[in-house]
Structure 1
Amino acid sequence: MSHLLWKTLVLSPVVLGVTVLVSARAIATEVAGSSEDIKAKTAQTEAPMSSDASTFIQTEQPKVNQLLVAQKTDDNQVLEEVNRYSTEGKNQNSLSQVTSVSQFSDVQPTDWAFQALQSLVERYGCIAGYPNSTYRGNRALTRYEFAAGLNACLDRVNELIATATADLVTKQDLATLQRLQEEFSAELATLRGRVDAVEARTAELEANQFSTTTKLVGEAIFAVSDIFGGNTGDANNTVFQDRVRLDLQTSFTGKDVLHTRLAAGNALAFNQVDNAGVPINTAEGTQTFQIGSSVNNSVNIDWLAYYVPIGPVEAYFAATGGIHSDYVATNNPYFEDFDGGNGALSSFASESPIYRIGGGAGAALTIPFSSGGSFFKPSSLTVGYLASNANNPGANQGLLEGNYAALGQLNFSVGDRLAIAATYVHGYHGAGGGNLFDLGGGLGSANRVVGTNQANTLSTLSASSSNSYGIEAAFRPSDKLSISGFVSYHDISGFGAGDDYEAWSYGLGVALPDFGKKGNVLGIFAGAEPYSFNRPGFVGNDIPYHFEGFYKYRVSDNISITPGVIWLTSPGQSSANDDAIIGTLRTTFTF
C-alpha cells in the first residue's frame, strides 16, 4: 500500500503540470472569432479535448454563459458535460497523439509554459493538438474543457501506476524471504553484533580523539652515507643517521594553519680535510636531513608558525624556527622540500642560498595582483622580516635590535609553465661573529648550512650589513620535464676596516618527474656554492663547483628510497685539495 502511495506521489507532478498549463490558457487573451459584439462571451469555439486516446478535437460548443457564478448547475449536469466532451473527443477527426512538443508549429521554447507542456506531451502522453499541427496555447477554455483534459491525464496516471505496481512482491516472495531469514539467522545475528561493536568503538574514538582541529603529519628519515676523496675520505667513516619531524597542523577556521613541529635527530655533516691534513671549515656538501638535527636525538620544537589569509593577502607569523622559504616561492620544483626527505640531497641544490640568510621569528605577507603577471608585470609581491634572536631581551638583541633579515620578492608567473622571481634581502649582523648563511643561527653562532668559509664568515669585531640580490626561475616545457635555476650576489659591508667582501652563487637543475614510475623523480643539479675571492686572511680563490644527481624511487604512498651522489670540486675554494664525493642512500617515511 505504501508503495502504491509512493508511486502516486511520484506521478502527481503531472496533475500540477496540467493545472498550470490549462489555467494559463484560461486567463490568456481570448482571440476574437468574429466581428460581432459578443458581450456574453459566447462563440463557436475550437476546444482542446483529451480522452483515453489523448487527443485534442474541434467541436461546436454550446452557447453557454461563462459567467458561471450567476448560473447554478447541479453535480449530475456537470458530470454529464464532462463525459460529453470526452466522448466527443473520441469521435472527432483529431490529430493522433504527438510524441514531441516540437510537432506543434505554434509552440516555441521561449514560451513560459513550454516545459510543462513538454512534460505532459513527451513524458505522460496525455496531451495532443489540433489537426493542423497547432496547440493554440493562447486560446481560452471553459471549465468543462479543463475538467475533461484533467480527467484524461488522471486516467493516464492511473495506467502508469497500474503498470508500475504490476510487478510488486508476491506472497510467495515474502515466504521465501522469511525462510531465508530463518535459515541464516545465526549469521545475521553475528553480523548485527559486529556492527554494534564497530559503532561502540567509533563512539569511543570520537569521545577520546586527540583533537577535532589538529592532525599529525610526520616524516622519518633513515640515511646511510659516506664521503670519499683524499684526506677527507680517510678522516670520515660510513654513517647511519636519522631525523624525525612531527608536525601538528591545527586549523581553527578551515583556511588557517598553525604548525607546531617537533624534531629530533643525530645527523652531522662530514668533516672535510685539506691535503695538509688541516680541517676545512666549510658547509659544502651539507645534506638536508643534517639541518636542524639535535645531534643526540633529543626532542625540541624547531618550528612554530601560523598561516592565515587576511582578505586576498596571505599572512605568515613565525614564533621560532621561521625561514624565508616557509612563505616565499623559491621556484625550484622537485629539488626543494623544505629540507625534508623527498627533494634534493643537499641544502645547496634544494634552494637558492639567498633564502638561507637569517631566520627565526617574524612575519611576512604575500600580496597578489588581480591582473595576473607577465615578463614585465608581477603577479604578486612578498615581503618578510625574520629576527634571529627575537626572544633575547639583552643588549643588541631582541626583535628589532638584534640580527635580522628583511626580504622583498616580486613574483612573475607567465602562464602555468614559467615562473620567475626577483629577490632582495637586507640583513643586519651584529658584532661578535657569525655566518651569512646561518639560517637564523644568530649572533656568534657557528651554524652554517651552505657555502664556503670565505663566503660565510662575518667580522667578530664589528657589525656588518648585507645586501643580497637574486633571480630564480623555473620552466616546465612538459609534465615530464622541469628546468630550474638561480643566481645570487651578496654585498657585505662591515663597519670595521677590511670587513667588506662580495660573494656569488649560481646553480641549474633538471628534473624528470614520473621517471620510470609515477611518483619517481630523477634530478641532476650543478652549480657553484657561495664563494668569495680575495678575502684577507683566507686561502683559496678557486670556484667550488657542486654536482649532484639523485633518483627518488617511490615504493608506496608513504615510503620513498633515494640513492644519490654529490661531487665537490676544489673544496674550500682550493684546487689543491682533492675532490670530495659523497654517496647517500636515503629512505623517507611519511605519515
Structure 2
Amino acid sequence: MTRNILATVPVFLVAILLFPFHGRARENQPLEELQAVTAREEETELISSENWENFDSNPTLDFSVTEIDTSELVEENLANETMMQVPSVIQLRDVRPTDWAFQALQNLVEEYACLVGYPDGTYRGNRAITRYEFAAGLNACLNQIEVLLRENVTNEGNPGIPTEDLEILRRLTQEFEAELATLGTRVDNLETQVVFLEENQFSTTTKLRGQVFLNLTGAFADGDIRAEGLNAFIAQRDVAGENVERVITDDPEITLSDYIFLTLNTSFSGRDNLVVQLAAGNGNSPANQFVSAGLFNTFGTPFTDQRGAPAVNNDIILREIFYDFPVGDRLRFVVGARVNWYRYFDNNAFTFFLTGASSFNSSGSTQLNSIDRGAGAVAIWNVTDNLTLRVGYLGENTEFLPSPPFNTASDPTQGLFGGTNTTTVQLDYEPSDNATLRFIYNRSNIEASNGLIGGAIAEPIYGFADDSFGGPVGDATADTFAFNFDWRLTRRFGIFGRYSYGSTNIFPLTSGRNDGEINAQSFQFGLAFPDLVKEGALGTLSFVIPFDVVDGRKFLISGGGDGATQFEVEATYFYPVTNNLALVPAFYIIGNPNNFGDNGTIYVGNLRAQFSF
C-alpha cells in the first residue's frame, strides 16, 4: 500500500507545483478544477537571442521515487539561489489570498509542511522553475509524505494524511498514467541525445558562435561633392597654403559584400570568459567615394559593410582576444592584447550595430575613441544595483590598421605606454529598469604620423591636422567629455541620444609657431520602436551631427570644409525572420557632406542579411 501511494506522489506534486506557472488558469480557480486540468495542454516559451547562452537545450527529467541529496544538487547549480523551508504561506510576501493557486500553496505548507521559498521571502510563482529547484521541492515533500504515510499505517486511529487526499492521489495516478509513460520515453530519448552530444562535442569549455553579414549597398548624390584631400587617406596643402580639394561628379556603383565574425568563448569556472574573435570581410561601402581625407568608414557607411583587415579582401584577422573574470560579486576585470573598447564603453540599447542604428556615425559617438581595439585592461565595478563605474586603459592595437606604423602596443620600440593610448572613465546610472545614463571622460595621447594628426586614430577630430601653415606637428593630447542615454518610455517606444565635446592640443614642431587647439562637438538624438510589427524587431530613427568645429578650423587640412555643419538622418529596421536570420534595411541622408554648405545631398540605401549561429 505504501509503495503504491508513493508512486502517485510525483504526479500530485507536479500538478500542484507547476500549476502556479500555468498561463491558462484563471485567478481564484477552485482546487477541484485545478485537479481536472490535464498535462495535454501545450506551453511554448520564446527564447530571445541574448538568452541562448543560458538556455539548457538538453534538459532531463527523473520522476523516480528515490532519495535525493539536495546539497549535491545545489553544488551542481551554483547559479541558483538556495531555497528555504517556510512554516506558513503568509511568510511569502509575493503570494496573496486572491491568487488563483493560493489554496494549493496553502495545502503544501500547512498540511504537508514541504513548500520551499527563497531567502528573500518570495515564492516567484510567475517564472519557470529549474530542474534543481523542482527536485529540492520534490525531495522535501516526498520525505514529509513518507513520514505521514507511515503514520497512516501504524496509527490508523490518527491518520497523517486525510482520506480525501489519498483518493486524489489514486485518481491522479490513473488520470496521468498515459502521460507518464510518454514522458518516460521522451526522457530516455533525451538522455541518448545528451550522451551523443557529450561524446561528439567540440569542447567541454568552449563554444563557437558566428555572425555572417551580407550587405547590398548603393549611394548617390543630387549634385557635385567637394572633398578635401587627394583621396580618402591623403590630405595636404598646396603651395599657397590652401587645402587641396577634389570634386566627385560620378556616383559609385552598387556593391554586394560580406563580413564575418567567428567567436570562441571559453569558460573555465562558469563565471569567466576567454574570448578569441576572428573576422574577415571584403566591404568598401559606396559612400566612401564621397569622403574627405580621414573620413573613410564614417558617414553613410553601415558598420558591417567593411573589410576589417588592412589590405587584403577576406583576409582572416584576429579582431579580439581578452580574458574577462570576476573578483568577488561586484568587480570584474578584463585583460587582453586586443580588447574591444566598444564592448565596455559608450554602449546604448538602441544603437548596438547588430540590432539598432546601423551606420558608423550612428552606432557610437563620432568623437570616441581614438582606439577601437587595444592592449590593456578594463575594470567594471557594480557599486550599487543601479550604479556602475568602468575604468580602462588601452594601448593602440587595432586589427584593420597596418603594422607598422600602427599596432604600437605590441611594437617594442614604443610599447604599451608609448604610441597612441587612451584612458577612459565611465559612470553608468540606471534610475529605472527602462533608462540608463552614461557619463564618459576620455584622455587620449595621439601619435603623429608623417607630421600630421588624423585618420583612424584621430578622435576627437575628424580629418587631418597640421600646424596651420603646412608644417609638421608632434604627438597630440586630447580630452573628450560625453553623455549618452537610452530611455524606453513604453513597451514599444523609446528615445536615445549622445552629446560629445572634444579638445585636441596641437604642438607644432617648427620653431616660433604657437601651440593651438581644435575644439569640436557632436550630437545625436533618436527615436526607437521596439517590437515593431514583430516581437524582437527594432526600428530606429536617428539624427546626427558628427563633427561641428567650434574653433581651431585653421589647423584642419581636411574635415573642416567651408565652415558648414554636416548632418545625417538615418532610418534602420531590424527584423528577425528566425532566431538565426534577420533582415535589416536602412536608409541614410547626409546633408552638407564633408562640412561644405554648397555640396549636394548624399543618399544611401542598404539591405543587410544577418545570419547567426
TM-score band, normalised by the shorter chain?
0.5 to 0.7
Q: 1:154 to 1:243 in 2, by over 3 A?
A: same
Please state whether the residue corresponding to 1:154 is helix, strand or coil: coil
Q: In the TM superposition, what is the alpha-carbon distance from 1:204 to its structure 2 partner? A: 4.7
Contact 1:426 1:466 (C-alpha < 8 Å) held by counterparts: yes
Contact 2:567 2:590 (C-alpha < 8 Å) held by counterparts: yes
Residue identity in the other structure for 2:487: F
1:113-152 per-position Cα deviation (integer Å, ceiling 9, x unaligned): xx9xx869xxxxxxxxxxxxxxxxxxxxxxxxxxxx9999
Partner of 2:424: 407
Please state whether the residue corresponding to 1:207 is helix, strand or coil: helix
1:83-112 per-position Cα deviation (integer Å, ceiling 9, x unaligned): xxxxxxxxxxxxxxxxxxxxxxxxxxxxxx
Contact 1:354 1:425 (C-alpha < 8 Å) held by counterparts: no
Which TM-score applies when normalising by structure 1? 0.61
Please state whether the residue corresponding to 2:212 is helix, strand or coil: strand
Please state whether the residue corresponding to 1:414 is helix, strand or coil: strand
Please state whether the residue corresponding to 1:565 is helix, strand or coil: strand
Partners in 1 of 2:300 and 2:345 — Cα distance? 24
Residue identity in the other structure for 1:478: T
Q: 1:313 to 1:198 in 2, by over 3 A?
A: closer
Partners in 2 of 1:349 and 1:342 — Cα distance? 12
Note the 1:212-251 alignment, pairs <5 A: 212-229=204-221, 230-231=223-224, 234-251=250-267
In terms of Rg, which structure is larger?
A: 1
Contact 1:316 1:327 (C-alpha < 8 Å) held by counterparts: no
Partner of 2:595: 573
Note the 1:460-499 alignment, pairs <5 A: 461-496=473-508, 497=513
Partners in 2 of 1:576 and 1:8 — Cα distance? 83
Partners in 1 of 2:153 and 2:573 — Cα distance? 77
Q: 1:457 to 1:409 in 2, by over 3 A?
A: farther
Q: 1:119 to 1:451 in 2, by over 3 A?
A: closer
Partners in 1 of 2:8 and 2:609 — Cα distance? 65
Q: 1:463 to 1:390 in 2, by over 3 A?
A: closer
Confirm whether residue 360 of structure 1 aligns to residue 369 of structure 2: no
Contact 2:562 2:596 (C-alpha < 8 Å) held by counterparts: yes
% identical equivalent positions: 24
Contact 2:357 2:363 (C-alpha < 8 Å) held by counterparts: yes
1:6-30 per-position Cα deviation (integer Å, ceiling 9, x unaligned): 69999xxxxxxxxxxxxxxxxxxxx
Contact 1:455 1:503 (C-alpha < 8 Å) held by counterparts: no
Partners in 2 of 1:551 and 1:408 — Cα distance? 32
1:154-176 per-position Cα deviation (integer Å, ceiling 9, x unaligned): 35769999x979x99xxxxxxxx
1:282-302 per-position Cα deviation (integer Å, ceiling 9, x unaligned): 232232113562351121211
Match of 1:551 among 558, 566, 573: 573
Please state whether the residue corresponding to 1:503 is helix, strand or coil: strand
Please state whether the residue corresponding to 1:524 is helix, strand or coil: strand
Contact 1:361 1:390 (C-alpha < 8 Å) held by counterparts: no
Q: 1:153 to 1:586 in 2, by over 3 A?
A: same
Partner of 1:142: none
Partner of 2:58: none
Residue identity in the other structure for 2:304: F
Q: In the TM superposition, what is the alpha-carbon distance from 1:569 to its structure 2 partner? A: 1.0
Partner of 2:394: 386
Partners in 1 of 2:251 and 2:391 — Cα distance? 44
Q: In the TM superposition, what is the alpha-carbon distance from 1:399 to its structure 2 partner? A: 0.4
Partner of 1:262: 278
Partners in 2 of 1:158 and 1:263 — Cα distance? 67
Partners in 2 of 1:456 and 1:212 — Cα distance? 54
Contact 1:528 1:545 (C-alpha < 8 Å) held by counterparts: yes
Match of 1:342 among 346, 352, 355: 355
Partner of 2:16: none
Partners in 2 of 1:555 and 1:217 — Cα distance? 19
Partner of 1:319: 337
Higher mean C-alpha displacement, 288-297 vs 380-389? 288-297
1:170-208 per-position Cα deviation (integer Å, ceiling 9, x unaligned): xxxxxxxxxxxxxxxxxx9xx99x999997775454233
Partners in 2 of 1:521 and 1:203 — Cα distance? 39
Q: 1:508 to 1:152 in 2, by over 3 A?
A: closer
Partners in 1 of 2:453 and 2:410 — Cα distance? 19
Q: In the TM superposition, what is the alpha-carbon distance from 1:467 to its structure 2 partner? A: 0.8
Contact 1:347 1:450 (C-alpha < 8 Å) held by counterparts: no
Partners in 2 of 1:258 and 1:150 — Cα distance? 57
Contact 2:460 2:478 (C-alpha < 8 Å) held by counterparts: no
Task: Give structure 1 stretches of 5+ with no counterpart.
Answer: 11-114, 121-148, 169-187, 374-378, 442-447
Partners in 1 of 2:335 and 2:307 — Cα distance? 20
Partner of 1:564: 586
Q: 1:430 to 1:151 in 2, by over 3 A?
A: closer
1:498-530 per-position Cα deviation (integer Å, ceiling 9, x unaligned): 663122111111101011111111110002112
Task: Give structure 2 stretches of 5+ with no counterpart.
Answer: 11-106, 113-150, 171-181, 225-247, 397-406
Confirm whether residue 154 of structure 1 aligns to residue 169 of structure 2: no
Residue identity in the other structure for 2:444: G
Contact 2:252 2:286 (C-alpha < 8 Å) held by counterparts: yes
Residue identity in the other structure for 1:474: D
Please state whether the residue corresponding to 2:314 is helix, strand or coil: coil
Q: In the TM superposition, what is the alpha-carbon distance from 1:318 to its structure 2 partner? A: 2.6
Please state whether the residue corresponding to 2:304 is helix, strand or coil: helix
Partners in 1 of 2:588 and 2:431 — Cα distance? 33
Q: 1:156 to 1:541 in 2, by over 3 A?
A: same
Confirm whether residue 500 of structure 1 aligns to residue 517 of structure 2: yes
1:431-469 per-position Cα deviation (integer Å, ceiling 9, x unaligned): 32576673xx5xxxxxx8997425899995411111111
Q: 1:246 to 1:272 in 2, by over 3 A?
A: closer
1:536-564 per-position Cα deviation (integer Å, ceiling 9, x unaligned): 44542110101101112221122111111
Partners in 2 of 1:9 and 1:474 — Cα distance? 50
Contact 1:225 1:240 (C-alpha < 8 Å) held by counterparts: yes
Partners in 2 of 1:7 and 1:540 — Cα distance? 85
Contact 1:286 1:449 (C-alpha < 8 Å) held by counterparts: no
Partners in 2 of 1:292 and 1:200 — Cα distance? 44
Confirm whether residue 509 of structure 1 aligns to residue 526 of structure 2: yes
1:449-501 per-position Cα deviation (integer Å, ceiling 9, x unaligned): 99742589999541111111111122222121111111111111122146631
Partners in 2 of 1:543 and 1:281 — Cα distance? 17
The alignment yields a C-alpha RMSD, in angstroms, of 4.2
Note the 1:439-450 alignment, pairs <5 A: none
Partners in 2 of 1:415 and 1:457 — Cα distance? 48
Partner of 2:463: 453
Q: 1:381 to 1:7 in 2, by over 3 A?
A: closer
Residue identity in the other structure for 2:566: P
Partner of 1:59: none
Q: In the TM superposition, what is the alpha-carbon distance from 1:381 to its structure 2 partner? A: 1.8
Contact 1:485 1:509 (C-alpha < 8 Å) held by counterparts: yes
Partners in 2 of 1:202 and 1:151 — Cα distance? 42
Contact 1:432 1:460 (C-alpha < 8 Å) held by counterparts: no
Tell me the number of residue pairs that the alignment of Structure 1 and Structure 2 aligns: 415
Partner of 1:526: 543
Q: In the TM superposition, what is the alpha-carbon distance from 1:233 to its structure 2 partner? A: 7.2
Partners in 1 of 2:161 and 2:344 — Cα distance? 68
Higher mean C-alpha displacement, 451-460 vs 526-535? 451-460
Partner of 1:73: none
Residue identity in the other structure for 2:392: G
Partners in 1 of 2:152 and 2:198 — Cα distance? 56
Confirm whether residue 418 of structure 1 aligns to residue 456 of structure 2: no
Q: In the TM superposition, what is the alpha-carbon distance from 1:535 to its structure 2 partner? A: 2.3
Q: In the TM superposition, what is the alpha-carbon distance from 1:391 to its structure 2 partner? A: 4.2
Q: In the TM superposition, what is the alpha-carbon distance from 1:430 to its structure 2 partner? A: 2.0
